Amino acid sequence: MASKKIQLEINRLRDEINLHNTQYYVLDDPQVSDQYYDQLLRKLQTLEKQFPGLITTDSPTQRVGAEASEQFESVEHEVPMLSLDNAFDEAEMQAFNKRLSELLSLEVSLQYCAEPKLDGLAVSLLYEQGQLVRAATRGDGRSGENITTNVRTIKSVPLKLVGDKIPELLEVRGEVYMPLKGFKQLNDRQRQHDNKIFANPRNAAAGSLRQLDPKITASRPLAFCCYSIAQLLGTTLPDSQFDQMQLVKLLGLPISPYIEKLNSIEACSDYYHSMADKRDFLSFEIDGVVFKLNKISQQNKAGFVSRAPRWAIARKFPAQEVMTTLLDVEFQVGRTGALTPVARLEPVEVGGVIVSNATLHNMDEINRKDIRIGDTVIVRRAGDVIPEVVSAVLKDRKAGFNKPEMPGACPVCNSEVIQQEGQAAFRCTGGLVCAAQRKEAIKHFASRKAMDIDGLGDKLVEQLVDLGLIDSIADLYSLTLDQLSSMDRMAEKSAKNLLDALEHSKQTTLPRFIYSLGIREVGEATALALANYFTELTAVESADEETLVQVDDVGPVVAANIVHFFDQAENQHVIQRVIEAGLQWPDIEKVEDIDLPLKGTTYVITGTLENYSRQQAAEILKKLGAKVSSSVSKKTTAVVAGDRPGSKVDKANKLDVTVLDEKAFDELTGNRHV
């Protein structure tokens, strides 16, 4: 057992190392040599090895990565992670400034906060009582992936905040990126071991951050830079963007050394040109400059539009463009079935990278730009952005050059290709059988909210498909013990557990099964609405669009998706095989919406419940007519809170929203647990 003296020495070493990390990564002012720093770290490692019971998650030694996971958990963002609108020239910046001045009814010059736009991956960091408890990707802005274990390996991310005034809760947003020196060193190592060479620092950062094995992330030279506060409890929030960033800097989080306050839109122009001149001499890649209204009160008044704030804009640097020849156009099928035209080009160097392929986006863009095979075309590549064909050089066009045509059948599975009214994309309708969509369809089918097949993670699905053991979801139920146990890293016990999980998944519900099919835009709520309305799968399969749009949560686009999915003979064949394998669900009694006691209410579930998973609690509420949301707002009816609920309860209290414990939830829903 460790003595109090040992504990004090370990605490002293951690505090000193954390202080040096702040001076090095945040203040850019190291006070000790690398050799001295290494000696401190080795001494701490030695003591922790001798007394493993004293190791804590926020120790500076705990950055090497934990065990690899099968997949990332989903994280709901309490405050959405928004995108930014772009400006590409002076006129657009002037228009942005004018809109804000009119919106805020101000005639004086607006003050802005400016910083370079890092070329990396946006992440959210959540600290509770000063400890890093969660890190997540942006995802779709509403929900992202839990990458906490990986982010803990980034040395510039403090595991524990510093200073005298640690907030109860702090959520910051920032960019994970890879400095140019580290990028070069990484590619040199990759080359030496005949591994994949990364095209640019952003791709390297994104690929490193989303590794399922955190030890790989730990070996990559990643860095972090904070650019905003999303949530703060327990201390006063400054009323300016610039001062907020100074606050997080005092807490030990790195911010841009180039951040500045600017007193006019003219000063913004000067700053932009200054950063453009510095661009080639920076130690990291940037692709523009971000300008934000400096006063938070003005930000709040300006508000948001769509998925972006009105009070911020990114002025991008000019893209790099070259000319080359369009040799052919091929169509790639994505994981959602969308067919994307891809330009095959005469190889050409753009910004130091040899480009032979470029996106043409969709057929509407091809027609709008009047691009033909054989044309001389202008190709643009800006930073990490996929190269695109900007336009054709019409003066070089010769007779006989033909326009690309969208195939009527999928080039992968030969299923029908359709274009829905009002949409630019063409899609393959062979969702369950198309090889291009196969892996994603099976992963979705096995996922927790669908068939919940325990042990069937993404890596295993990919291995099963690559080995030719499964071609569709139906093949899962034909797998044998011999097939599974003969696979790499699949012992007989693991193989038997997976077969047991597959057998267990045969007892499901109709809403889960409909959701598991992966019909485009049919989520959990829509699947539940379809099941409750039709009560039988055969009724859903045979419904026409006119009937489908009578269902709550089903509009014309979703109705068309459902009809096209069930019209495909191959999809019907796979469904029939799954049912013949023994998949079944209990009958559903049709209940009219008017009879549902919680119709028109909205609930949020947080924390760990004793008698339910959050998913089970959500399903109970939905069956009673309630909507279940991931975020608390003034429209929330109540928050159901289990053990360790986190910040959602704090927000509910702040908004005077009712908070229910599990007993109150049981009383509300009519469930009884002794």
Q: List, by residue number, the catalytic residues.
A: 117
Return the number of other C-beta atoms located less than 10 Å from residue 84's C-beta.
17
Q: Is 356 helix (H, G, I), strand (E, B) or coil?
A: strand
Task: Output the furthest CA–CA distance in the chain (Å, rounded).
Answer: 88
Of residues 403, 411, 410, the one with CA closest to residue 370: 403
For residue 438, count CB atoms less than 10 angstroms from its CB and return exposed for 0-12, middle for 13-18, buried for 19 or more: buried
- Interhelix angle 201-209/180-192, nearest 10 degrees: 70
Q: Report the alpha-carbon distance of residue 206 to residue 200 in Å, rounded.
A: 10
Residue 288: which region, alpha, beta or left (left: phi > 0; alpha: psi -120 to 50)? left
Of residues 116, 110, 113, the one with CA closest to residue 264: 110
Helix (H) or strand (E) holding 204: helix 201-209
Strands (E) across 84-186 are located at: 85-87, 112-118, 121-128, 131-137, 143-145, 169-177
DSSP H helical ranges for 251-291: 265-278
Q: How many CA atoms lie within 13 A of 247 on its CB side?
A: 19
Q: Which residues of 236-259 are buried (b: 16+ CB within 10 A; e: fewer)?
A: eeeebbbebbebbbebbbbbbeeb
Strands (E) across 55-180 are located at: 74-76, 85-87, 112-118, 121-128, 131-137, 143-145, 169-177
Q: How many CA atoms lie within 13 A of 223 on its CB side?
A: 21
Is 223 in contact with 201 (CB distance < 8 Å)? no
Cα 384 off chain centre by: 17
Q: What angle do CA 313, 314, 315 make, to 5 degrees?
A: 115
Is 431 in contact with 340 (CB distance < 8 Å)? no
Which residues, 6 or more positions from 258, have their beta carbon under 8 angstroms from its beta carbon? Answer: 115, 116, 275, 278
Which residues, 6 or more positions from 560, have their beta carbon under 8 angstroms from its beta carbon? Answer: 420, 421, 545
Q: Report the alpha-carbon distance of residue 212 to residue 70 in Å, rounded.
A: 7
